[in-house]
Amino acid sequence: MSAVVGQTDVHPESLVTSVEGRSPRQIFWARFRQDRAAMVGGIAVLTLLFLAVFAGVIARHVIGHGPNQVYDSMTDDFGIPKGPNSSFWFGADGAGRDLFVRVLYGARTSLLVAFIATTISMTIGVTVGVIAGYYRGFTDTVVMRISDVVLALPVLLLAIGIAAACGQTAAGCLGGFVQPGLGLVIFVISAFTWPYIARIVRSTTLSLRAKEFVEAARSLGASHKRIIMREILPNLAAPIIIWATLLIPSNILFEAALSFLGLGVPIDTPSWGQALSDAAGSGLYKSAPWLMIFPGIFLVVTTLAFNLLGDGLRDALDPRSER
């Protein structure tokens, strides 16, 4: 094609320099930072992570006491906790403990449970989903029916049953393998969330395995393992990251729900769900609303922040998504 008539002063070199090549990471970041909601969510998540990691330091050096320190002076003669003041920023809970410190430590519990449980369920879900989607046939049928069975189980009833059956002795069940507490909460959450990931990964894998680059690798004699590891999994990275960020808030709420029902973390471990449960169970929230307000706000903010972050990541990582 000839040059445009009458524009002889435009040189091809200058055109090349005005269109810079950008790496996928740069494209992602450019898209992500334009999304203000995602940025707010990301900053909120980072703040919460900071508070969770440094809860102990803040409690020790800024506040001066731990989450289980009881202050008799912070409850009145009827056992009603006293409200926020200059020393107890969020007021006291029913036992006379500093609610601010407990909310800080609650962030640690929530995020710890959510991250570990999400990691476990993502690992199981991705492994199972890739195997089912790649091998198809009998393997797919068996794996997907197992996930159907897991999805059909009444999670809360099962958790109640496990806590009741395994809580009666110090040893718990199965020689101490199953004991009520943090481990059981993580186990229950992981065990019942992996099928969602497995289904998504399976459908994406089914689509990927039919792509030309996979066909090409196969025709070059690549092994199944190599195709999965080198061709399929790298292309699953974006959906995995997106679903992980969306699963975390869901798991935070799951932990809160289990703790609210008394099936969650041990009673002396601060947890937002447990704080809400205690406030509701004692009825103290009627005269001490801060018992509900602060853990509730942190729970909402955390969930919302992760959801916004997840939304933003999806938009930035998946060019096909509409904004």
Partner 1 sequence: MRIKRRIATAVLVVAAAGLAIAATTASAGSNSSQHAGAAGANKAAAGGVYRVEYESSFDFTGGFDPTGEYLGSAQGILGNLLVRTLIGYKHVAGAPGNVVVPDLATDLGKITNNGKTYTFKLKDGIKFGPPLNRPITSKDILFAFQRIGTPSVVAQYGFYYDVIKGMTAFKTGKSKVIQGIKTPDLKTIIFDLTVPTGDFRYRLAMPAAGPIPQEVAGCFTQPNEYGRYLISSGPYMFAGSDKLNASSCDTIKASGGISGFDGTTKMDLVRNPSYNASTDSPAARENLPDEFTFTTNSNVDDIYAKIGRGDIEDEVPGGTPPPTVLRQYAGSNQLKSNSGDRTWYFMLNLTQPPFDDIHIRKAINWVVNRDALRKAWGGPFAGNIATHIAPDNLLADKLKGYAPYGTGKGDVAKAKAEVKLSKYDSNHDGICDAKACKNIFSISGDRAVEKTMLPTLEQNLKSIGMTLKDRVLKDAYTPIGTVRLNTPFSTRPGWGKDYADPYAFFGANFDSRAITPTGNANRGLVGLTPALVKKFGVKGTVTGIPSVDKDLDNCQTKLEGARPVCYAALDKKLMTQVVPWVPYLWANYTNVISKNVTQWQFDQFSAVTAWAHVAVK
Residue ranges binding partner 1 (CB under 8 A): 35-38, 40-41, 44, 68-70, 72, 75-80, 82-85, 89-91, 94-97, 163-164, 167-170, 180, 262, 266-268, 278, 281-284, 286-290, 293-294, 297, 300-301, 304-305, 307-308, 311, 322-323
If the CB atoms of residues 230 and 286 are measured against partner 1, the closer one turns out to be 286
Nearer to partner 1, 55 or 131 (CB): 55
The interaxial angle of helices 182-208 and 155-166, nearest 10 deg, is 150
Task: Output DSSP code: residue 60.
Answer: I
* Helix (H) or strand (E) segment spanning residue 200: helix 182-208
Tokens found for residue 196:
């969602």
Q: How far is the CB of 156 from partner 1 (least distance, A)?
A: 14
- H-helix or E-strand containing 10? none
Entry field: residues in the chain: 323
C-alpha 128/C-alpha 122 separation (Å) is: 10
Q: Shortest approach of partner 1 to residue 46 CB, angstroms?
A: 14
Minimum CB separation of residue 207 from partner 1 in Å reads 23
DSSP H helical ranges for 136-181? 137-152, 155-166
Q: In this structure, how many other beta carbons lie within 10 angstroms of the beta carbon of residue 301? A: 15
Convert 202-240 to b/e letters by CB count within 10 Å (16 or more is b).
bebbeebbeeeebeebeeeebeeeebbeebbbeebebbb
Q: With 0-12 CB in 10 A as exposed, 13-18 as middle and 19+ as buried, what is 322?
A: exposed
What's the closest the beta carbon of residue 260 comes to partner 1, in angstroms? 12
Task: Name the residue nearer to partner 1 (CB basis): 36 or 145.
Answer: 36
Distances in whole angstroms, Cα of residue 114 to Cα of each of 108, 182, 250? 10, 11, 8
Q: For residue 240, what are the contacts with CB-CB under 8 A and spacing of at least 6? A: 122, 126, 201
Judged by beta carbon, residue 231 or residue 311, the one nearer partner 1 is 311
Three-state SS at 75: strand
Closer of 13 and 322 to partner 1 (Cβ):
322
Shortest distance in whole angstroms from residue 192 CB to partner 1: 21
CB of 68 to partner 1, least distance (A): 6
Nearer Cβ to partner 1, position 91 or 129? 91
Is the CB of 94 or the CB of 239 nearer to partner 1?
94
Q: How far is the CB of 129 from partner 1 (least distance, A)?
A: 26
Of the candidates 258, 253, 256, 261, the residue with the CA atom closest to the CA atom of residue 303: 253
What is the 8-class DSSP label of residue 167? S
Query: Nearest approach, Cβ of 235 to partner 1 (angstroms)?
Result: 24
Distance (Å, rounded) from C-alpha 302 to C-alpha 49? 10
